Amino acid sequence: MGADYAGMAKKAFQATWRISRILTVNLCRRGLILGRYTLACWQKQKVNRAMRRLGEQFFQALEQGETNPLVVSEVSAAVTRAKGVKEVKDRNYQAIAAIKARIRAAWGTEPAPPPAAEAQDNPETAAP
């Protein structure tokens, strides 16, 4: 009889340990998500600033009489800066989605997608 209680106590301790470990890891992941969202807000401000500068450069080129303002070096540089900042912001949101998927997978409610499926969904990161 005593062995049965010892085995049950051991299983209960292991289950409690596993759940508390999952909770702790997911809490850290949620902290990462909070940090990423904070970073995303900052990046959104950078995108807005870059787009505002792009518009200013565009209209300055139009006021100078340029027929195609996108060929002006200042405007094209502003376009590349705005695109770069937007890409960084989008990668940040992709990282947030990946962290959320790991949180769901930790509880076993949804199986984690295999890495090959992620590469097939995004042809830019897929190997040639």
Instruction: Report pLDDT digits (tens) over 36-88.
Output: 999 989 988 988 998 898 888 888 888 888 888 878 888 888 888 888 988 99
- Closest C-alpha to 101, from 29, 39, 52: 29
Provide φ and ψ at 42, rounded to 5°.
-65, -40
Instruction: Report pLDDT digits (tens) over 77-116.
Output: 888 888 898 899 899 999 999 999 988 888 775 555 666 5
- In angstroms, the Cα distances linking 82 to 48, 55, 96 are 9, 11, 21
Which residues are within 8 A (CB) of 107 and not within 5 positions of it... i.e. 6 or more apart? 22, 26
Distance of CA 7 to the CA centre of its chain: 43
The reported pLDDT for the residue numbered 111 is 54
Domain boundaries, the chain: 12-108
Which tokens sit at 38?
């904070």
pTM: 0.61
